[in-house]
C-alpha cells in the first residue's frame, strides 16, 4: 500500500487525497428544501460536564456559533463526508456539483478544528470501492483534488496545517501522486492541525496489509508469533500510514446512513459515532459544533462502569 516504509518493504506508507479549502461561494440554504437536522447514532442523557477553558467560537457562513465551553474536546475526529452526489442531483442535476460544493464544507470544518484545538482530523475522501462509480465522476474527483490542493497551499501554510495522505496512492495518476507527496513534504513541520485525508482507502485492506507485514516479519525471524498482540498490531498500523497516533474519539457521518463503510475499522473500536441527516455540502461549522457538544455529553466507559457520585 502506498510508499515503502524504511526497513520493511512489505509495510507500505499509504496516502490519500485532500478535498481542499477553497474560497466560499455559497448559495443561501433558504434556496434549498429543508433538511432534517442531526440524528445521533447513539444518544446519552448525561448532562454536559462542568465547563473547562476549552472555549471557542467557530466561524459559520450561516451565522455565528455562540461561544460555549466544551469538556472534553476530542483529540482526533474522523469524518465520513457522505451526501455530495445526492446534493448535486437534488439541487443542480449533476453529482459533480455536489463534490465541488463539498469542498466548501470541508473548509469550514478544518477552520473550526484549528479553532477548537483538535489535534487530528481524518476525512474519508475516496474509498477503494468508489472506483465503481461512473468514470466521468471519478475523473472529476481526481482533477478536483489536484487543482484545489495546489490553489490552497498558501492558506494551508498560513494556518499551520500538516497534510498527511492515507490510502493506496499507487493507483492514482503519477502527477497526482507527486502533487500529494510535495504537499505532505512542505507541511511536515506544521503543528496546528494534522489533516489526514483518506483517498483510495479501505479499512479491510489496511488491516490485511498489516497482517501480511507481521506475517513476513515472523517468517523472517524478526518477530515471534507470541509477541503479536493489539499493541504491536497498532504500532504496525502507525508505521504503515504515519497518520494519527491516537484513535478517533469521535466519528461523524453526514448524509444519514448509519454505517462505517469500511472507514478506519481497526481504529474505530471505541469511537463515539454521530450521524446527521445533513448532506455533506450543507454541513457547517454550527453542525460541527453540535456534534462536539453531543460528544461531550457521552460517557465513555470502554466496557467498564462509571461510579455515581455519592
Residues involved in catalysis? 82, 130
Q: Which residues contact 274 (CB under 8 A, 6 or more apart)?
A: 38, 40, 41, 42, 250, 251, 252, 253, 291, 294, 295
Query: What is the distance between the alpha carbons of residues 157 and 114, in angstroms, rounded to a whole number?
Result: 13
Q: Which residues contact 261 (CB under 8 A, 6 or more apart)?
A: 80, 82, 124, 127
Query: What is the distance between the alpha carbons of residues 102 and 286, in angstroms, rounded to a whole number?
Result: 16
Cβ atoms within 10 Å, residue 52: 12
Query: What is the distance between the alpha carbons of residues 126 and 87, in angstroms, rounded to a whole number?
Result: 17
The cell numbers describing 76, all together, are 482526533
Query: What is the distance between the alpha carbons of residues 229 and 156, in angstroms, rounded to a whole number?
Result: 38
Amino acid at each position: 500500500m502506498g510508499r515503502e516504509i524504511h526497513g520493511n518493504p512489505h509495510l507500505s506508507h499509504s496516502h490519500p487525497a485532500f478535498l481542499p479549502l477553497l474560497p466560499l461561494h455559497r448559495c443561501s440554504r433558504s434556496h434549498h428544501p429543508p433538511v432534517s437536522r442531526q440524528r445521533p447514532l447513539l444518544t446519552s442523557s448525561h448532562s454536559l460536564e462542568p465547563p473547562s477553558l476549552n472555549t471557542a467560537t467557530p466561524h459559520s457562513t450561516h451565522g455565528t456559533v455562540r461561544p460555549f465551553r466544551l469538556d472534553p474536546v476530542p483529540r482526533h475526529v474522523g469524518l465520513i463526508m457522505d451526501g455530495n452526489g445526492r446534493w448535486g442531483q437534488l439541487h443542480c442535476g449533476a453529482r459533480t456539483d455536489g463534490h465541488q460544493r463539498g469542498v466548501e464544507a470541508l473548509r469550514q470544518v478544518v477552520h473550526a478544528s484549528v479553532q477548537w484545538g483538535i489535534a487530528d482530523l481524518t476525512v474519508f475522501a475516496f474509498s477503494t470501492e468508489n472506483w465503481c462509480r461512473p468514470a466521468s465522476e471519478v475523473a472529476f474527483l481526481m482533477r478536483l483534488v489536484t487543482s484545489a490542493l495546489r490553489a490552497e497551499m498558501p492558506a494551508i501554510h498560513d494556518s499551520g496545517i500538516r497534510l498527511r495522505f492515507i490510502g493506496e496512492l499507487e493507483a492514482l495518476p503519477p502527477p497526482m501522486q507527486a502533487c500529494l507527496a510535495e504537499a505532505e513534504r512542505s507541511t511536515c513541520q506544521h503543528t496546528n492541525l494534522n489533516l489526514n485525508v483518506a483517498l483510495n482507502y479501505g479499512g479491510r485492506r489496511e488491516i490485511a496489509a498489516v497482517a501480511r507485514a507481521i506475517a513476513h516479519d515472523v517468517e523472517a525471524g524478526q518477530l515471534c508469533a507470541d509477541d503479536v498482540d493489539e499493541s504491536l498490531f497498532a504500532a504496525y498500523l502507525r508505521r504503515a500510514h504515519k497518520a494519527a497516533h491516537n484513535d478517533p474519539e469521535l466519528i461523524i457521518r453526514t448524509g444519514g446512513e448509519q454505517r462505517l463503510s469500511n472507514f478506519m475499522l481497526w481504529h474505530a473500536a471505541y469511537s463515539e459515532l454521530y450521524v446527521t441527516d445533513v448532506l455533506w455540502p450543507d454541513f457547517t461549522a454550527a453542525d460541527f459544533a453540535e456534534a462536539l457538544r453531543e460528544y461531550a455529553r457521552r460517557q465513555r466507559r470502554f466496557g467498564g462502569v462509571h461510579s455515581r457520585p455519592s
